[in-house]
Amino acid sequence: MGYYIARTFEKQDIQSLREQVEAALKQEGFGILTEIDIQATMKKKLDKDYKPYLILGACNPVFADKVLQAEPNIGALLPCNVTIRETDSNEMEVAVMDPAAAMMAVQNNAIESLADEVKQKLVRALDSL
């Protein structure tokens, strides 16, 4: 089982694609809690050049509440990371962590079924792009 689910798109402005991703996630009940600009961070910290690359921390509060109630330490695995990046083949890729894969180590049946529901929502968001 892989740890992420991805879709590839024609090259476009990363901020434009970010807005589309945020809107698609919002339709599934997710909000963006954090954003890391890898390209800018690596340039500033290491003076290294990266292609455009964003990491968004997405959260569906309804599901976050349910998993935190079932497993208080699950916060170590939250929020759901979504990446938007330009690939080496000059396409754009949007990838989401696979919550079902991420939660396998938890070994809690309630968490497992919730992770499957969240995965379905994330895949629907990807497929709507």
**Tens digit of each residue's pLDDT (9 = 90 or more) over 43-82:** 999 999 999 999 999 999 999 999 999 999 999 999 999 9
**Phi, psi (degrees; rounded to nearest 5) at 65:** -60, -45
Q: Which of the following CATH numbers is that of domain 4-127: 2.60.120.560, 3.55.10.10, 3.30.310.70, 3.40.50.1100?
A: 3.30.310.70
Q: What is the pTM for the complete model shown?
A: 0.94
Q: Tens digit of pLDDT for each residue in 106-122?
A: 888 889 999 999 999 99
pLDDT of residue 110: 87
Cβ count within 10 A of residue 36: 14
CA-CA distances (angstroms) from residue 41 to 35, 45, 53, 57, 113? 11, 6, 10, 16, 36
Provide the residue count of the chain: 129
